[in-house]
Amino acid sequence: MLILFIKTVIIALLVFFVIRLMGKRQIGEMQPFEFVITLILAEVACLPMNDPYIPLHFGVIPIVTLAFLDIALSFIGRKHNGFRKVMDGSSVIVIDRRGIVYGNLKKMNMNVDDVVVSARSAGYPDLSAVEYAIVEPNGKFSVIEKPKDPTKPTAAYYPLALIADGKPRRENIALCGITDAQINKVILGGGLKKIKDVLYMDIRQDGTVYVSPKYRPCYTDKVSISGKNW
């Protein structure tokens, strides 16, 4: 009994440590791979805890391996946007200013009822009040409400990410019609030297750019854009 008690304490503390390494997230906020690892952790941890004849290292080694795998994949994802997109997916707009985006519904394997139910669950039973609806990589349904008075300058905007973790988002740059020269001008105007100095940058439909550098305070700028298709 004492051996089983000691094994349980060690496994419990190890699992707690691994979960802390993965970050403070609720189950619904986890990326797909993080959720899978959490499920496997629960199963692996139970083996040596339930059976006194299973050696402790039968649980410790898989748990440590899963922790290393999660950290390694997170590190690679920060360095390579393409890899992160494959592992975590990306946000998909299912409602924009023109209405429901049918092509994106097919990509997400969703139907109109799914959109209506999700919007209603988010507190928007009337789709005409929705400016944008986005399905996030963790499966959550985000809604940006239309302005009460569209003639006022407080119109709702959907910021489009241009740079994340020092890496340009080429598909978004092409979508909004901004050039590399304009991006570099914004970066240099904020006292930065290169794209890698930018932690996050996005742009709105009116050309307002928000920049959050890695080691400096955030700032905004304004550029002219040729594309407003988002």
How much is the pLDDT for 152?
Answer: 54
Q: Tell me: do 78 and 25 sit in the same domain.
A: yes
The label of the residue with tokens 């139910």 reads: 117
How much is the pLDDT for 11?
Answer: 78
Domain boundary among 37, 65, 86: 86
Higher pLDDT, 46 or 182: 182
pLDDT above 70 (res 78): yes
Look at residue 12 and tell me if it is in a domain.
Answer: yes
Q: Tell me: do 81 and 104 sit in the same domain.
A: no
How much is the pLDDT for 98?
Answer: 85
CA distance 52 to 1: 8
Q: Tell me: do 81 and 132 sit in the same domain.
A: no
Look at residue 154 and tell me if it is in a domain.
Answer: no
Work out how many domains the chain is built from and give that number. 3
Lowest average pLDDT, out of 27-36, 51-60, 125-134, 187-196, goes to 27-36
Q: Tell me: do 70 and 99 sit in the same domain.
A: no
pTM of the model as a whole: 0.60
Higher pLDDT, 33 or 57: 57
Q: How many CB atoms lie within 10 A of CB 141?
A: 17
Extract the runs of DSSP E, i.e. beta strands, from 41-197.
92-96, 99-100, 130-135, 141-145, 160-164, 167-168
Q: Tell me: do 80 and 102 sit in the same domain.
A: no
Residue 191 DSSP label:
T
Domain boundary among 36, 58, 86: 86
Residue 115 is part of a domain; what is its CATH number? 3.30.240.20
Domain boundary among 86, 102, 137: 86
Range of the domain at 34: 2-86
Q: Tell me: do 107 and 82 sit in the same domain.
A: no
